[in-house]
Amino acid sequence: MFKLVVSDTITVPVAGRLPDAAGNFVPFGFSLTARRLPADKMREVITNEELLTTDFLRSVVQGWSGVMDEAGSPLEFSPGALDALLNIVGMSNLLYAAYIDACGVKGKAKN
């Protein structure tokens, strides 16, 4: 049975590694809250060669959890804080890929 009811928002798990000052890769993880776009809108995004990944993410990301400031305190979501996150080299591509993965249907995992 399948109920054809799809939430307008999704939680997007994000995981990666970022090099520290010594060049050691430090793992990180957090979650985004974002608007879920339907397939027809996603096709428009994917085929729009003028739309930057960062602009797309700014249009769908609405919040986050697990993002901390330098002191280790939870960092409140804001457009400026999102811009700081997107300014990390490679982060926008990682977030975009995580968003696409979180939006899609998954098959049943095999044992």
Chain segment 90-100, per-residue pLDDT in tens: 999 999 999 99
Identify the burial level of 12 via C-beta atoms within 10 angstroms of its C-beta, where 0-12 means exposed, 13-18 middle and 19 or more buried. Answer: buried
Given a cut of 80, is residue 18 above it in pLDDT? Answer: yes
* Structure-token pair, residue 92: 């926008």
- Length of the chain equals 111
Does pTM top 0.85 for this prediction?
yes
Among 3-7, 34-38, 88-92, which stretch is predicted with the lowest mean pLDDT? 3-7
- Annotate 37-58 with DSSP letters as a single string: PPHHHHHHHHH-TT--HHHHHH
Report pLDDT for 107: 67
